[in-house]
């Protein structure tokens, strides 16, 4: 039985409309899935806003972050596993979908490719990957928290793997680390970012801040 999540408003988790549009993308991508493995779930996963799911597992390699995830009550189960050690941890086709939201960029390119291979093995019908568009410098916030970015992934990288790629968070030039708006006044550039997201960036992922990637698995 899934515990009730703390009442955290969507505007608190995503302080601008682009974040809410991202949640809507996630809902659409998982609309016909019921069981989901959330790999690198973080302290407060966006899956807390995907209500139709019947069983979800949050996986984290950082113990302190996993404790925060448990406190959020988003998932039915939690598991502490290094994301580089997924092979053998879960059966082939063990979940309807695997999601990795802001995860693959924390691995080097070789490990990242192997990581995607494992997601595609574990997922029965769908893999969803969200990642910055290209390399975005970012360091650790505390020792061992896996926050450092080690690679960058382009729309072409993901398309070659069979993903359908759309843009997210508006034009890349407007945002920096953690997808934060770079310019002031912030409210004005947030509006421009939202406008660019809806009207342009999602259809032209090469120019977007981030990439929303979906692969259908044919078994």
Which residues, in sequence order, are bridge partners of residue 36?
56, 97
**Band of residue 210 on the pLDDT scale cut at 50, 70, 90:** very high
For residue 137, the model assigns a pLDDT of 87
Close Cβ partners of 198 (under 8 Å, ≥ 6 residues apart):
21
pLDDT tens for 19-66 read 889 999 999 999 999 999 999 999 989 999 998 999 999 999 888 889
| Residue among 92, 91, 120, 115 at smallest CA distance from 103 | 115
**For helices 17-29 and 186-199, what crossing angle results, to 10°?**
30
Position 113 pLDDT exceeds 90: yes
| Residue among 30, 21, 78 at smallest CA distance from 51 | 30
For residue 8, the model assigns a pLDDT of 44
For residue 147, the model assigns a pLDDT of 78
- Mean pLDDT for the stretch of residues 186-195: 92
Domains of the chain (ranges plus CATH)?
A: 16-167+210-216 (3.40.50.150)
Phi, psi of 145 (to 5 degrees): -90, 0
pLDDT tens for 70-96 read 999 999 999 999 998 898 899 999 999
Tell me how far CA of residue 188 lies from CA of 21, 87, 192, 204, 209, in angstroms: 18, 46, 6, 22, 17
For residue 57, the model assigns a pLDDT of 97
63-67, 94-98, 192-196: which has the minimum mean pLDDT? 63-67
**28: how many CB neighbours lie within 10 A of its CB?**
11
Position 11 pLDDT exceeds 80: no
For residue 18, the model assigns a pLDDT of 81
**83: how many CB neighbours lie within 10 A of its CB?**
22
pLDDT tens for 130-185 read 999 999 988 776 666 667 899 999 999 999 999 999 999 999 999 998 889 999 99
For residue 15, the model assigns a pLDDT of 52
For residue 162, the model assigns a pLDDT of 98
Cβ proximity of 104 and 129 under 8 Å: yes
- Please list the alpha-helical segments (H only) found in the chain: 10-13, 17-29, 63-72, 109-122, 155-160, 186-199
Residues across the chain = 219
Which token pair is 176?
């920096």
């Amino acid at each position: 039985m899934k515990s009730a999540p703390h009442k955290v408003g969507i505007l608190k988790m995503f302080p601008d409309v682009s974040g809410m549009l991202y949640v809507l993308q996630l809902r659409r991508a998982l609309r016909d899935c019921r069981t989901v493995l959330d790999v690198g779930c973080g302290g407060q996963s966006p899956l807390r806003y995907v209500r139709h799911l019947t069983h979800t597992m949050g996986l984290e390699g950082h113990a302190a972050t996993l404790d925060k995830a448990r406190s959020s009550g988003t998932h039915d189960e939690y598991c502490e596993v290094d994301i580089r050690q997924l092979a053998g941890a879960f059966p082939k086709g063990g979940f309807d979908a695997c999601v990795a939201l802001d995860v693959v960029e924390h691995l080097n390119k070789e490990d990242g490719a192997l990581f995607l291979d494992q997601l595609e093995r574990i997922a029965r019908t769908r893999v969803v990957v969200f990642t910055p568009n290209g390399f975005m410098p970012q360091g650790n916030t505390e020792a061992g928290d896996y926050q450092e970015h080690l690679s960058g992934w382009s729309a072409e990288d993901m398309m070659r793997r069979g993903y359908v790629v759309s843009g997210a968070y508006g034009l890349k030039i407007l945002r920096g680390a953690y997808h934060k708006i770079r310019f002031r006044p912030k409210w004005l550039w947030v509006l421009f970012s939202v406008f660019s997201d809806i009207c342009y960036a999602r259809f032209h992922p090469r120019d977007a801040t981030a990439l929303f990637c979906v692969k259908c698995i044919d078994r």
